[in-house]
Amino acid sequence: MNKKIYKISIIFTLMFFALSISAQEKNEIIIFEKANELYSQKEYEQAIEKYQKVLKNGYESAELYYNLANSYYRTKQLNYSIYYYEKAKLLAPDDEDIQNNSEMAKLLVNNRPTPIPELGIIIFMKKIVTARNHNFWSYLSVSSFIISLFLAAYFLISRSSTTKKITFSVSVVALFISALSFFFTHKQLNFLKAKNRAIVFSVTSPVNSSPDENSTKLFDVYEGFNVKIADVSGVWYKIILEDGKQGWIKKETLKIL
Amino acid sequence: MRKTFIILISIILSSILIISTLFGNNEVKGNKPNQNKQISFTVKCEKIVSTGELFRVIFSVNDYASGFISPAFKGIQVISGPNTLSSQTYSYVNGNTTQLISTSYTYHLIAEKEGKFIIPSAQVTVNGKTYNSEPFEITVVKGENGNNTNNNLNQNNSNSNSENDISDNVFIKTTYSKTNVYPGEFIISTTKIYTKIDIRNLAEKNTPKYTGFWIKDIQAPQNIQAERELLNGQVYSAALLRQTIIYPQKIGKYQIEPYELEVSVKQKVGKEYDIFGRIVDRYAFVNKPVKANSVTITVKPFPEKEPENFSGIVGENFKISASVDKTNLKTDENINYTLRISGNGNLYLLNEGGLKIPDAFDSYKPNVDEAIKYTISGGEGFKEFKYLLLARKYGKVKIEPLEFVYFDIKTNKFETIRTQSFDIDIEKGENYSTVANQGVQVINKDIRYIKEKNITLKQKNKNFGGSSIFYLSYIIALLAFIVFVLIRRKTIKENSDIAKVRNKKAGKISQKRLKTALNLLKANKETPFYSEILKSLNGYLSDKLNLNQNLATKGEITNLLSEKNVNQEYINSILDIMNTCEYAQYGPVGNNKTPESVYAETENIINKMESIL
């Protein structure tokens, strides 16, 4: 029986090895740290350059997006600032600093629509799902699944009825947690990969009633608006504003999150 | 009788004397200023005349004068003069009598040539002193019609006779001191009316709106005073209508609406008969609109980027000063902080913002005092902000210097001037209580600092969740579990096979043991007998319950038996037999059980167990 436990723990450690830091990652972190130094010296333009370099090399993290957004905020590039705060929020929905600064940046948005209030239960669900980032949920799911199986195995080999009772119930709870966090992981990953949200990048831009230059102009959107993309047609996107207004806008005015 | 007559006469005489002296005094009073007054000798004349025009030059002295020496009028024909006129007037103002004396010498002249002429100084003698007048320059321009003898009035009439269009004769002109300015830089706009003909009743129809500008009238005279002015080689009588200072607010191009007036002009309206029956022209005053020129003003951006704390003030000669009335005080006392900014610019725009009031003080909106005088050289003056600061906390407090950033139109640069700082010592007052402290006060909102610690990076789109390793780890774990279960099942099966064999053989083995025990009993060997009985029972139960015989204790056996729902009665009798056997091995049997009955009981219980297990 001991041999089995040993085997499982080896599998577990191997999994973590696969996720360990590589050499290139270390290089990128050095650039990242340099950018942070430039930021502290108020050389925001140069800091932006360095942060963007890390991004271009194919690396990302909530901290990177957050620091980059801060730099853009300092250089008064509201659209980029809001865009990267949103990016950071996708990776770390639970980070309080990101939430705070994102709200600060949104205060500068012109004529910002008031979001439609959501149902209490949906807010509650969203809060649970975004209480931790997807990485946390995925690890939690796998580890609680393994714990659940461990306990199930222990349940089988144990003779005492009390141990059997405890191991059985804890195993079921662990399995439930595993399933739930698996669901949360997927929810967040879907959100991340959906690519159905965008930030308005042009200072101001008209929104039309149909994907046609000559159609009726419905309203204007301003730099920094957070919109949902509902449909595509040629060079046009159908967008939904936070207050529920809908219309068609040219693709070039938006940057997809 | 004679005595009374003398007294009467003396009374009359003295009263006459008193009255006369009183009156005499009055005379002296009136004359007194005459001796001390300043003698002025002035020349009065139109500055601009046209050739052939009859004009007057008047030299006047404010006293009796004599010995007038005429100046030499070079290039100007004297028609008549000097005509001397002396006048004396009295005026009573608030019971004071004032005597005004004047002597004037008038010339009537005609200029024949164009150009500038100087009327040299004339000389008079007043009370034995000689006075000279200032030389006076006149400009002679070409006359309108070349008709030299026509006087002004006739000329006007002929003009109004010939045409209805009056735009050449009456117009308004608005001039701007600058038309290309920075926002906040002042412009003087001057509107004048020019006329050659008789006009009356000016009525404002439209005054410029100046949208995008801040305006202030400098002069809007109640009585319009005309003065001759030369414009484009022509003589007009010009009058100032309005002078305004305007401050542009925003960058851009602004078309200023023109100023519009309605004037009454004397015009020929038809013919009529005069009292002698002759046909003459009839004149009437007709209302005509007159419009000024419209002007475009360009408000250009500043040559440099505006500094962040730019106050919006544009101008020159700015000074800033600050003062406090004390530097030592106790909590709950207050100090007055006075900030004064003076200079020439759009100070009306200046607001009180910018002073960083230390936490230790409570402050209220400052009192604002301003004294700004708007003249043609701009708006000059000061703005003063009086802050009342109430000390709330004790300690050494510094009032930081206040920076004032303005745009200097002289140097074309943004300039910064600042006040001094003040060190204030606040002592704990008698009524100081810590309640006044209300935690950390938010001064400004700003974004939080970047994240520098525990920074991580990972490759894009390489998330653990959803990756193959993620799913694989579930599968591996599940496979491991399945393998475990299979292995366990197999061993259980193997184990259960052994148990079966043991179970089946248990009865036979115990029968054999019991037989040996019976033999031992027959041979009267009691101790081995009990040992054999115990072995037989323990071995039987161990085989049946699949227990290791050596490890089987009474506790284990009873537990397993009760688990298998064996009747407590049987368990008790098994325990009873076991106990009896154990005791009997080491001493005499305490109870009344004979070896035979033990043997029978064991055989009995084994048989019973055989049917249950």
pLDDT at B448 over 80: yes
- Look up the CATH number of the domain holding residue B50: 2.60.40.740
Chain B: residue whose CA lies nearest to A152: B481
At B308 the pLDDT is 79
On chain B, the residues whose CB falls within 8 A of the CB of A105 are 447
Written as six digits, the tokens of B275 are 């009292």
Alpha-carbon separation of residue A192 from A70, A93, A256, B499 (angstroms) = 21, 11, 11, 59
Q: What is the pLDDT of residue A42?
A: 87
Question: Which residue among B433, B463, B483 closes a domain?
Answer: B433
Render pLDDT for A182-201 as a digit per residue (tens, 0 to 9).
999 988 888 888 888 899 98
What does the pLDDT read at residue B31? Answer: 41
Query: Which token pair is B355?
Result: 């002073």
- Asked if the structure places residue B204 within a domain, the reply is yes
pLDDT on residue A65: 92
pLDDT at A182: 92
Which residue of B458, B464, B478 is in closest CB contact with A138?
B464
Over range B123-128, report the average pLDDT. Answer: 82
Looking at the fold, whether B182 and B272 belong to one and the same domain comes out as yes
Q: Do residue B447 and residue A153 have CB atoms under 8 angstroms apart?
A: no
Question: Pseudo-torsion of CA A214, A219, A224, A225, nearest 10°?
Answer: -110
Q: Is residue B96 domain-resident?
A: yes
Chain A residue at shortest CA distance from B449: A70
Domain that holds residue B582: 499-612
Share of chain A above pLDDT 70, in %: 91
* Three-state DSSP class for residue A147: helix
Asked if the structure places residue B603 within a domain, the reply is yes
CA distance A138 to chain B (A): 5
Note the pLDDT of residue B287: 80
Query: Across all residues in chain A, what is the average pLDDT?
Result: 86
Residue ending a domain, among B433, B456, B473, is B433
Tally A–B CB contacts below 8 A. 115
d(CA B421, CA A226): 46
User: Cβ B455–A8 below 8 Å, yes or no?
Assistant: no
What residues contact B1, with CB distance under 8 A and at least 6 apart? none
Sheet-wide strand order for B66-69: B66-69, B123-126, B129-132
Handedness of CA A44, A50, A53, A54 (dihedral sign): negative
For residue B259, pLDDT over 50 is answered with: yes
- Measure CB to CB from residue A142 to each of B473, B480, B487 and give the nearest one: B473
Q: What is the pLDDT of residues B321-333, one digit of tens each?
A: 888 888 888 877 8
Asked if residues B513 and B581 have their Cβ atoms less than 8 Å apart, the reply is no
Q: Is pLDDT above 60 for A21? A: no
Q: Which residues contact B324 (CB under 8 A, 6 or more apart)?
A: B335, B336, B337, B338, B399, B422, B424
Topology classification of domain A197-256: SH3 type barrels. (2.30.30)
Domain tally, chain B: 4
**With contacts defined as CB-CB under 8 Å, which chain B residues touch A19?**
464, 469
Distance from CA of B473 to the nearest CA of A (A): 7
With vertex at residue B494, the alpha carbon angle to CA B491 and CA B499, rounded to the nearest 5 degrees, is: 120
A141-160 confidence digits (pLDDT tens): 999 999 999 899 888 888 78
Cα four-point dihedral sign A87, A90, A94, A100: positive
Name which residue leads in pLDDT, B149 or B581: B581
Which two tokens mark B84? 């001397």
Q: What average pLDDT does the structure give for chain B?
A: 78
Interface touch A149/B481, C-beta < 8 Å: yes
Q: Is B149 helix (H, G, I), strand (E, B) or coil?
A: coil
Q: B604: number of CA atoms within 13 Å, CB side?
A: 11
- Predicted pLDDT at A174: 94
CA–CA separation, A81 vs B307, rounded Å? 23
| Predicted TM-score (pTM) of this structure | 0.42
Shared-domain flag, residues B228 and B162: yes
Q: Are residues B115 and B185 in the same domain?
A: no
Kindly state whether residue B455 falls inside one of the protein's structural domains. Answer: no
User: End of a domain among B95, B120, B141?
Assistant: B141
Per mean pLDDT, which range of B24-33, B174-183, B390-399 is the poorest?
B24-33
Residue in chain A lying closest to B473 (CA): A142
Question: Is B473 inside any structural domain?
Answer: no
Q: Is the pLDDT of residue B44 over 50?
A: yes
CB A186, CB B466: distance < 8 Å: yes
Give, in order, the Cα–Cα distances in Å from A45 to each of A212, B58, B565.
38, 78, 83
Identity of the amino acid at A194: A
pLDDT band at B150 (very low <50, low <70, confident <90, very high): very low
Q: How confident is the model at residue B62 (pLDDT cuts 50, 70, 90)?
A: confident
Q: Which residues contact B411 (CB under 8 A, 6 or more apart)?
A: none
Least confident of B353-367, B471-485, B565-579: B353-367
Query: Do residues B260 and B170 both lie within one domain?
Result: yes
Min mean pLDDT across B27-41, B114-128, B427-441 is at: B27-41
For residue A19, which phi and psi values (nearest 5 degrees)? -100, 5
Q: Residue B196 and residue B201: Cα distance in Å, rounded?
A: 15
Residues B329 and B292 reside in one and the same domain = no
Share of chain A above pLDDT 90, in %: 28
**Which whole number is the average pLDDT over B124-138?**
82
Contact B473 A15 (CB under 8 A): yes
Tokens 């230059």 identify what position? Answer: A213
Mean pLDDT value of segment B479-498: 86
Q: Is the same domain home to B290 and B328? A: no
More reliable by pLDDT, B394 or B490: B490
State whether A186 and B466 contact (CB < 8 Å).
yes
**A45-59, A65-79, B462-476: segment of lowest average pLDDT:** B462-476
Lowest model confidence (mean pLDDT) among A16-30, B380-394, B535-549: A16-30
What ipTM did this prediction achieve?
0.76
User: What pLDDT sits at residue B163?
Assistant: 47
pLDDT, mean of residues B151-172: 54
- Residue B204's φ and ψ, nearest 5 degrees, are -70, 125
Position B549 pLDDT exceeds 80: no
B505 and B535 together in one domain: yes
Token output for B198 = 């008789």
Highest mean pLDDT among A41-45, B90-94, B227-231: A41-45
Compute the distance between CA of residue B387 and CA of residue B422 in angstroms, rounded to an integer.
14
Tell me, what's the pLDDT at B364? 79
* B602 and B512 in a common domain: yes
What pLDDT sits at residue A148?
A: 92
Best probe of the A interface among B442, B453, B458, B562, by most A CBs < 10 A, is B458
Average pLDDT over residues B527-548: 80
When pLDDT is averaged across residues B366-385 and rounded to a whole number, the result is 86
> Smallest Cβ distance to A137: which of B452, B465, B473?
B465
Distance CA A65, CA A76 (A): 16
Residue burial B306-329, b: 16+ Cβ < 10 Å; e: rest: eeeebbbbbbbebebebebeeeeb
A11 neighbourhood in chain B, CB within 8 Å: 473, 476-477, 480
**B133, B43 Cβ separation under 8 angstroms:** yes
Nearest to A39 among B445, B450, B459 (CB): B450
Q: Residue B158 above 50 pLDDT?
A: no
* B453 within domain boundaries: no
Asked whether residue B558 falls in the same domain as residue B601, the answer is: yes
Name which of A191-200, B91-100, B441-450 the model is least confident about.
B441-450
What contacts B193, CB < 8 A, 6 or more positions away?
A: B170, B171, B172, B202, B224, B238, B239, B241, B261, B263, B290
Which residues in chain A have their CB less than 8 angstroms from residue B484's CB? 4, 153
Q: Architecture of domain A2-106 in CATH?
A: Alpha Horseshoe (1.25)
Residue found under tokens 């099966």: B493
Residue B482 binned pLDDT confidence (cut-offs 50, 70, 90): very high
Q: Give the position of tokens 């109870």.
A: B591
Mutation pick from B478, B482, B484, B486 vs chain A, by most beta carbons of A within 10 Å, is B484
Nearest to B488 among A64, A134, A157 (CB): A157
Asked whether the beta carbons of A81 and B450 are under 8 A apart, the reply is no
β partners of residue B92: B97
Same domain, yes or no: B257 and B237: yes
Q: What is the CATH number of the domain that holds B550?
A: 1.20.120
Q: Per the structure block, which two tokens stand in for B180?
A: 């290309």
Within 8 A of B449 by CB-CB distance, chain A residues are 70
Using a CB-CB cut-off of 8 Å, the residues of chain A touching B460 are 58-60
Alpha carbon dihedral B218, B221, B222, B223, in 10-degree steps, equals 170
Work out the minimum CA distance from A165 to partner chain B, whole angstroms.
16
Axis-axis angle for helices A161-194, A134-157 (nearest 10): 160
Q: Is residue B593 in a domain?
A: yes
CA of A143 vs chain B CAs: smallest distance (Å): 9
Q: Does B305 reach chain A within 8 Å, measured CB to CB?
A: no
Q: Note the pLDDT tens digit of each residue in B264-286.
A: 877 777 777 878 878 887 777 77
pLDDT at A1 > cutoff 80:
no
One domain for residues B53 and B79? yes
Minimum CA–CA partner of B471 in chain A: A142
Chain B residues closer than 8 Å to A66 by CB: 450-451
- Tokens 């005279």, located at residue: B221
Regarding whether B131 and B156 lie in a shared domain, the answer is no
Q: Is residue B106 part of a domain?
A: yes
Within B346-482, strands assigned E span 361-363, 367-375, 378-391, 395-399, 403-408, 413-418, 422-427, 458-459
